[in-house]
């Protein structure tokens, strides 16, 4: 009886070892890591999506693109959080007519990315037409497995 129990225990251990060494199905394996260039392209696509959402006043898309902790620093120096900035767009107080970018660059640093460019912004703010030429910087962070904008800042040129 004792010998049978020991034999069964040994067989159980060997069975567990064999199962542990069986490769997992491909679907169970973690997704292959993206290359730096692939991440940069994904972030640049988010930038295009962001500009489209601004010009179309698509606040649902902006909600998705912005992290809850967004810090949005305007070229005037004023600072908004996510809720305040989206509310201004939703109410029509701020209406972007165009947002043209040039010299755009993306750099990835692990779970964060920085995008820089020169922008020419045409907008209507509180009923007044404005054109702003500025340098812009965006910081993205990977939040819950997706990239979101955590900071925006523009600095007027000239």
Decide: helix, strand or coil at residue 99. strand
45-57 pLDDT, tens digit per residue, is 999 999 999 999 9
Rounded Cα–Cα distance for residues 10 and 93 (Å): 74
Sign of torsion over alpha carbons 117, 61, 85, 92: positive
- CATH number of the domain bearing residue 54: 3.10.450.50
* Structural domain total, the chain: 1
Position 144 confidence tier, pLDDT thresholds 50, 70, 90? confident
Whether residue 18 is contained in a domain is answered as no
pTM score over 0.85: no
Tokens describing residue 86: 């989206």
**What mean pLDDT comes out for the span 21-43?**
65
Q: Is residue 21 part of a domain?
A: no
Percent of the chain with pLDDT over 70: 80
Flag whether 12 is in a domain.
no
Residue 6 in domain: no
Q: Is the pLDDT of residue 61 over 80?
A: yes
Quick check: is 1 in a domain?
no
| Range list of H helices, the chain | 2-20, 36-56, 59-65, 82-91
Q: What residues form DSSP beta bridges with 96?
A: 123
For residue 19, is it within any domain? no
Tell me if 103 is assigned to some domain. Answer: yes
Residue 147: domain span:
34-156
Report the pLDDT averaged over residues 141-150.
94
**pLDDT per position as a tens digit, 101-110:** 999 999 999 9
> Which residues touch 98 (CB under 8 Å, ≥6 apart)?
55, 120, 121, 122
Q: Is the pLDDT of residue 153 over 80?
A: yes
Torsion of CA 5, 10, 12, 13, to 10 degrees: 140
């Amino acid at each position: 009886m004792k010998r049978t129990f020991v034999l069964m225990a040994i067989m159980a251990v060997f069975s567990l070892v064999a199962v542990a060494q069986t490769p997992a199905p491909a679907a169970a394996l973690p997704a292959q890591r993206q290359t730096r260039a692939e991440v940069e392209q994904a972030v640049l696509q988010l930038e295009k999506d962001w500009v489209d959402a601004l010009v179309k006043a698509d606040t649902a898309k902006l909600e998705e693109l912005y992290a809850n902790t967004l810090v949005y620093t305007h070229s005037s120096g004023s600072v908004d959080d996510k809720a305040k900035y989206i509310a201004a767009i939703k109410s029509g107080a701020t209406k972007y007519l165009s947002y043209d970018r040039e010299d755009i660059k993306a750099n990835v640093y692990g779970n964060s990315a920085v995008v820089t460019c020169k922008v020419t912004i045409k907008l209507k703010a509180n009923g007044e037409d404005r054109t702003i030429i500025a340098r812009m910087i965006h910081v993205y962070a990977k939040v819950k497995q997706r990239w979101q904008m955590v900071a925006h800042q523009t600095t007027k040129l000239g």
